[in-house]
Amino acid sequence: MSLSEFEIIKKYFDLAEFTLSREEVLVGIGDDGALLNLGVEDHLVISTDVLVESIHYPANADPKKIASRALTVNLSDLAAMGAKPLCFTLGLVLAEVSEPWLLQFSQGLAKVAKRFNIALVGGDLSKGPTTIAIQVHGTTKSGNALFRYGAKAGDLIFVTGCLGDGAIALASMGLPSHLGDSFQLEKDQPAAKCTSYFDAAYFQPEPRIEFALQCASFITSAIDISDGLVGDLGHICEKSNVGATFNTADIPTSDSASCCVSSENLLRAALYGGDDYELCVTVSPHNRRAFLAAAKESGTRVSCIGEITENPEIVCISESNEEIALQSNAYSHFKD
């Protein structure tokens, strides 16, 4: 006999592994809503992301990995706002009830929740095409939040980690890319170490929470790179009424990415691919040294790729010091 909605919640999600004894959570799962005590100086940051089976992950993917990606990509948004994780809600639509799947999914979700000390406080279950919707809540002290606006001419542009891995990982799983049919791996079967690397890059992206908390006081604007560097840097420029110049030679990419795609596709992945969930931030040159020290203390690799300009356009300079014509093909959910 199939489990009911309330039996699924009680068996797989109303567990001690998800409450984490957060003193801010006065009432969690089990009532019509959660009740939180935020304190008078705290501001609440909220973000939501949705993952759809066969679009955002393969239908046969490991449920633990699906859960990991579902929560970590949301945590990346909290990092971009300089917020400390507090709690989250889970909306789960299932085509069918599979207890082995639910057990693995619950375990994967709990592992990430415990690592970032973020409590599950509620949600909803329904039947339909398998879809996972998570809403995360984080806190930041008044005046400490990071925003897409705030960049000023002369600010330096930094990115964390490596770019392009998300799009290449998607291609390695055989899922369609918005970069087109020409975006393909160089080899049909990448080396085992590359396959393992991209699997982790896609299903276990690293939310830059500690980096953001350590470096927030030096950052003038920030955004997480979910839709591609050009598109997301463009959001900063638009919100801040500025432009930017950056060099492709300074964009950090991984060794695995270089082994698996052509140099042309590697650049396309870094510029337009998205799904990297790294951060793009701007920093005043006066704070460069302090920022780099704080980033190092957080254990985060950062790369300076360019600077903010008064001219309201984004200019990309190639390794041969020539301007590259940029395309407008950042990821879009509804682009034909």
Q: End of a domain among 109, 141, 173? A: 141
Inside any domain, residue 198: yes
The answer to whether residues 236 and 302 belong to one domain is yes
**Segment among 2-16, 43-57, 148-162, 201-215 with least mean pLDDT:** 2-16
d(CA 243, CA 220): 14
| Cα angle value 231/264/238 (rounded, 5°) | 15
Collect all residues with Cβ–Cβ distance below 8 Å to 77 and sequence separation of at least 6. 47, 49, 136, 224
- Over residues 34-89, the pLDDT tens digits come to 677 888 788 899 999 999 998 888 889 999 999 999 999 999 999 999 999 999 99
Inside any domain, residue 329: no
Q: Give the pLDDT band (50/70/90) at residue 314.
A: very high
Predicted local distance difference test score (pLDDT) of residue 32: 64
Q: What is the domain extent for residue 278?
A: 156-324
Q: Give the pLDDT band (50/70/90) at residue 334.
A: very low
What are the start-end ranges of the H helices in the chain? 5-8, 16-19, 63-80, 99-115, 165-172, 192-203, 209-215, 229-240, 255-260, 263-268, 288-297
Structural domain count of the chain: 2
The answer to whether residues 167 and 284 belong to one domain is yes
- Over residues 253-287, the pLDDT tens digits come to 999 999 889 999 999 999 999 899 999 999 999 99
Inside any domain, residue 150: no
pTM value is 0.90
Q: Has residue 20 got a pLDDT over 90?
A: no
The answer to whether residues 136 and 160 belong to one domain is no
| Nearest by Cα to 77 from 138, 33, 19 | 138
CATH number of the domain where residue 290 is located: 3.90.650.10
Predicted local distance difference test score (pLDDT) of residue 56: 85
DSSP for 145-190?
---S----TTPEEEEES-SSHHHHHHHHTT---TT-TT---SSSS-
The answer to whether residues 42 and 126 belong to one domain is yes
Predicted local distance difference test score (pLDDT) of residue 174: 76
The answer to whether residues 216 and 260 belong to one domain is yes
Predicted local distance difference test score (pLDDT) of residue 178: 79
- Over residues 153-205, the pLDDT tens digits come to 999 999 999 999 999 998 888 777 778 778 888 766 666 778 899 999 999 99
Half-sphere exposure of 104 (CA within 13 A, CB side): 11
Inside any domain, residue 333: no
The answer to whether residues 167 and 105 belong to one domain is no
Q: What number of helices (H) and strands (E) belong to the chain?
A: 11, 13
Predicted local distance difference test score (pLDDT) of residue 313: 94
